[in-house]
Amino acid sequence: MNHRSYKDSLYQQFARVGKAFASAKRLEMLDLLAQGERPVEAVARETELTIGNASAHLQVLRRARLVDSRKDGQQVYYRLADQDVFRLFRDLESLAKKRLTEVDQITRSYHESPEDLEGISAQELQARLRDNAVILLDVRPQTEYAAGHIPGALSVPPDELQQRLDEFPQNQEIIAYCRGPYCLYATDAVHQLRNAGYRARRLSLGLPDWRASGFPVARQKPVEAHLATTKTLPNTHHKEA
């Protein structure tokens, strides 16, 4: 193989990954799968695609070795191939934020104040959790909480928060987190909490970032997952991943 053939062949393989990333819907799918394994139907529902279109996008990601799949009966489940895929996805987000002013413009068009954009850091949250100084809410869908969450977090899915406000003491700050820096579940939760008179902030990152940083992650045991709809404050019966 001469130099030209070598380079052409090599960069063609690199381009496979670039091609897989060159779709807004596929990027959204990577963000979803960073939360945990999902069947095709769930990916289609979240991304508002037909099952056929969602499956086609997932096949592109699989051929680029960015996701893995398994079959369980008639269901096909997808997951990220490994943490390197997640890190590449976050690096792409970070680069876009640095190079494209449109990212900040779009983000600021939704958030009401600079505080919404800043949030609390993972290091500060860890310290405050050790001191029992905050209540921590995981405001992602309950299935994502069951797959992995910050130890001590209470699962409060987006459609339950308003009905559960009386569970939280008014004299303690509440921190909400969701899927990542651009996820809106936490921002919306903070707005609801502040409107109800609570001191509330969002975590500046999401559960996948917390995991990638080496912080502990807990999962629900099967019995806990079955009883997750019970309206109680966080308990300690979790196992760490």
> What does pLDDT average to over the chain?
89
Position 43 scores a pLDDT of 98
Q: What is the pLDDT of residue 116?
A: 63
Query: Which pLDDT score is estimated for 225?
Result: 44
- Label residues 147-180 b or e (16+ Cβ within 10 Å = b): bbbbbbbbbbbbeebeeebeebeeeeebbbbbbb
The CATH T-level fold of domain 3-81 is: Arc Repressor Mutant, subunit A (1.10.10)
- pLDDT, tens digit (0-9, with 9 covering 90-100), for 149-183: 999 999 999 999 999 999 999 999 999 999 999 99
114-240 — its CATH code? Answer: 3.40.250.10
Q: Tell me, rounded to whole angstroms, the distance of Cα 40 from its chain centroid.
A: 18
Q: What is the pLDDT of residue 114?
A: 58
Condensed to tens digits (0 to 9), the pLDDT of residues 110-140 reads 876 656 667 899 999 999 999 989 999 999 9
- Does the pLDDT of residue 6 top 80, yes or no? yes
More confident residue, 108 or 176: 176
Please report, in angstroms and rounded to a whole number, the separation of the first and last CA atoms in the chain.
46
* Span 79-107, average pLDDT: 95
> Domain-by-domain residue ranges, the chain?
3-81, 114-240
Given the residues 33, 154, 175, 178, the one annotated as active site: 178
pLDDT at 142 over 80: yes
Per-residue confidence (pLDDT) for residue 236, from 0 to 100: 36
Locate tokens 């394994």: which residue? 37
Q: What is the pTM of this model?
A: 0.85
Q: Is 178 a catalytic residue?
A: yes
Tell whether the model's pLDDT for residue 235 goes beyond 90: no
Q: What is the pLDDT of residues 213-234, one digit of tens each?
A: 999 999 876 544 444 444 444 4
